[in-house]
């Protein structure tokens, strides 16, 4: 009797690999065999690395083996960086040696034409008959925070709680770099390539039960198995949000996708309907993916969809409100009692009427103004999310007021169960102990430099709250 393995049992040897063999390891830059070895050696991986190259006795000061069978220990993950036509035979040898997972960097498969397609079918048959699972081919590696196995970057990726699956390797790597520049971290990154074996549905199923992952993000050019994808996503969104950017909405984009990874495209209108039905959040631009994910990973879901905006400038109020409106978010006018209280007791005389958004109008007499406004509107039943400029950072005698204001604002998510998003604050601002940035970071308050980014993050929170509410009614 064959015992069916769980998706965790199938993919843990890849994402939690304790040892890695590199078939095609090289001492010669810029060959892929050199790059992959460099990533493992410099990327923080602590397990043994076994270079495989019959022409070398050592690679990067590590003993090289003529083939995988010669390695004295059983290997969890085998990485292939050899010409495509050599991969099937090398895969058979690796499987015979007892490898538990595979990642094929090599290109020249289905994306290259009929001959490559047949070669990919041959490779897939070998893998599936063995019971191991394979990433790729034609991919750019992966990263996992679980064991710091780095096959996509020569430097360690910042650990976080967002998993990112990309059908484009180099472009996916660029998006990872952009996320890191904004201070965001990842639990997993996979360049999925041609998806000859593992596809987006498999990754979603694995990540749905991965304790290191809170949010699943995908750059997806096509869907291999629509039914399988839909079922995996439907199950995952009950527990974790999924955010997707999918190109190919035009004929030109579709042609580019097919030549890139050999993916079959689904009409964009059909894909959009599928996302709405399942509960997937679509991003309109790739730059939005991680701004949305950061909020979903760290902030509570809003109990109601209304957005409250508190800003130090009128321009920021206008842009934030306008972006919210474009996204279909409500910025409700607050009640007259709260308006009178703020106008008479908190705001400067020259400040505009505090209807929402609330413009502090450059009044920096005390940082406590920001906290007093936030605490006045957070309890309102019409407000579910707060977009708020951070209290001004004072030094010397004013430092205590800055710290108090920051701590009062940072306490709102726990006190009222409503998310707070910092508006006009760099997510990479120095988080010194006791500083506004440090207090916000410690409390998990997402920080956004641009008001548009903060508004889109609020949109993601409102959307997923609606999705969760709809699921609970089923």
DSSP state letters, 356-377: SSEE-TT--S-THHHHHHHHHH
Contact 455, 323 (CB under 8 A): yes
Token readout for 267 is 């009409």
Cα 91 off chain centre by: 31
**What SS3 class is residue 332?**
coil
pLDDT on residue 365: 81
CB burial of 303-318 (b: ≥16 within 10 Å; e: otherwise) equals: bbbbbbbbbbeeebbe
- Which among 176, 437, 414 is positioned nearest to 300, based on CA atoms? 414
Identify whether the C-beta of residue 48 lies closer than 8 Å to the C-beta of residue 19: yes
What 8-state DSSP symbol labels residue 45? Answer: -
Distance between CA atoms of residues 162 and 359, nearest Å? 34
Return the pLDDT at 44: 86
Residue 164 phi, psi dihedral angles, 5° rounding: -125, 120
Tokens of 232: 């995996």
Query: For the range 115-123, what are the long-range contacts, defined as Cβ-Cβ under 8 Å and sequence gap of 24 or more?
Result: 116/84, 117/262, 119/84, 119/85, 119/87, 119/88, 120/194, 120/196, 122/88, 123/87, 123/88, 123/91, 123/196
Closest by CA position to 185, among listed 441, 449, 465: 441
Cα-Cα-Cα-Cα dihedral of 179, 240, 472, 245, to 10°? 50
| Rounded-to-integer distance, Cα 474 and Cα 315, Å | 43
Of 109, 80, 190, 113, the C-alpha closest to 146 is 190
On whether the pTM is more than 0.85, the answer is yes
CB 216 within 8 A of CB 165: yes
- 3-class DSSP state for residue 159? strand
Nearest alpha-carbon partner for 241 in 276, 219, 214, 222: 214
In this prediction, residue 172 carries a pLDDT of: 92
Q: What is the pLDDT of residue 252?
A: 47
Query: Radius of gyration over alpha carbons of the chain, in Å?
Result: 25
Query: Token pair for residue 16?
Result: 């939690």
Per-residue pLDDT of the chain (474 residues; tens, 9 = 90+): 456 899 999 999 999 999 999 999 999 999 999 999 999 998 889 999 999 999 999 999 999 999 999 999 999 999 999 999 999 999 999 999 999 999 999 999 999 999 999 999 999 999 999 999 999 999 999 999 999 999 998 788 899 999 999 998 889 999 999 898 888 999 999 999 999 999 999 999 999 999 999 999 999 988 878 889 999 999 999 999 999 999 865 454 444 444 444 455 567 788 888 899 999 999 999 999 999 999 999 999 999 999 999 999 999 999 999 999 999 999 999 999 999 999 999 999 999 999 999 999 988 788 899 999 999 999 999 999 999 999 988 888 778 999 999 999 999 999 999 999 999 888 876 677 678 999 999 999 999 999 999 999 999 999 999 999 998 766
**Closest C-alpha among 276, 216, 287, 219 to residue 247:** 219
The pLDDT, as a whole number, for residue 364 is: 77
Q: Measured between alpha carbons, how far is 331 from 39 in angstroms, rounded to an integer? A: 47
Q: Which domains does the chain have, with CATH numbers?
A: 1-140 (3.40.50.720), 157-298 (3.40.50.261), 300-473 (3.40.50.261)
- Residue (of 165, 152, 160, 217) closest to 185 by Cα position: 160
Total length of the chain? 474
Note the pLDDT of residue 473: 67
């Amino acid at each position: 009797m064959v015992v069916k393995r769980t998706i965790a049992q199938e993919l843990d040897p890849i994402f939690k690999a304790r040892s890695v063999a590199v078939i095609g390891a090289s001492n010669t830059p810029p060959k892929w065999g050199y790059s992959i070895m460099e990533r493992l050696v410099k990327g923080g991986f602590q397990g043994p690395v076994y270079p495989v190259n019959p022409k070398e006795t050592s690679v990067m000061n590590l003993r090289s083996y003529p083939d995988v069978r010669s390695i004295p220990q059983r290997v969890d993950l085998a990485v292939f960086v050899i010409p495509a036509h050599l991969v099937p035979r090398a895969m058979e040898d690796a499987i015979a040696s007892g490898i538990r997972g595979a990642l094929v960097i090599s290109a020249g498969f289905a994306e290259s034409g009929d001959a490559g397609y047949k070669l990919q079918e041959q490779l897939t048959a070998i893998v599936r008959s063995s019971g191991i699972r394979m990433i790729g081919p034609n991919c750019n590696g992966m990263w996992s925070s679980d064991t710091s196995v780095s096959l996509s970057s020569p430097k360690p990726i910042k650990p976080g709680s967002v998993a990112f699956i990309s059908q484009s390797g180099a472009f996916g790597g660029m998006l990872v770099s952009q996320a890191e520049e904004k201070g965001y971290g990842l639990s997993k990154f996979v360049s999925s390539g041609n998806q000859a074996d593992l596809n987006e549905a498999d990754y979603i199923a694995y990540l749905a039960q991965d304790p290191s992952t809170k949010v699943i993000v995908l750059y997806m050019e096509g869907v291999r198995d629509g039914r399988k994808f839909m079922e995996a996503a439907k199950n995952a969104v009950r527990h974790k949000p999924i955010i997707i950017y999918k190109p190919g909405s035009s004929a030109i984009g579709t042609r580019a996708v097919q030549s890139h990874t050999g993916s079959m495209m689904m009409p964009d209108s059909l894909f959009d309907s599928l996302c709405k039905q399942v509960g997937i959040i679509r991003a309109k631009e790739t730059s939005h993916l991680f701004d949305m994910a950061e909020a979903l990973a760290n902030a509570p879901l809003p109990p109601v969809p209304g957005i409250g905006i508190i800003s130090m400038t009128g321009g920021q109020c206008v842009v934030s409100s306008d972006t919210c409106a474009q996204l279909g978010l409500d910025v409700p006018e607050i009640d007259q009692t709260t308006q009178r209280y703020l106008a008479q007791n908190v705001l400067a005389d020259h400040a505009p009427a505090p209807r929402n958004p609330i413009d502090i109008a450059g009044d920096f007499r005390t940082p406590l103004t920001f906290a007093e406004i936030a605490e006045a509107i957070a309890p309102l039943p019409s407000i579910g999310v707060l977009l708020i400029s951070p209290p001004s950072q004072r030094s010397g005698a004013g430092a205590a007021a800055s710290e108090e204001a920051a701590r009062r604002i940072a306490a709102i998510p726990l006190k009222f169960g409503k998310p707070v998003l910092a508006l006009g604050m760099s997510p990479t601002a120095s988080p010194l102990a006791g500083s506004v940035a440090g207090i916000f970071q410690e409390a998990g308050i997402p920080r956004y430099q641009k008001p548009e980014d903060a508004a889109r993050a609020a949109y993601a929170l409102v959307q997923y709250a609606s999705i969760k509410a709809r699921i609970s009614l089923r």
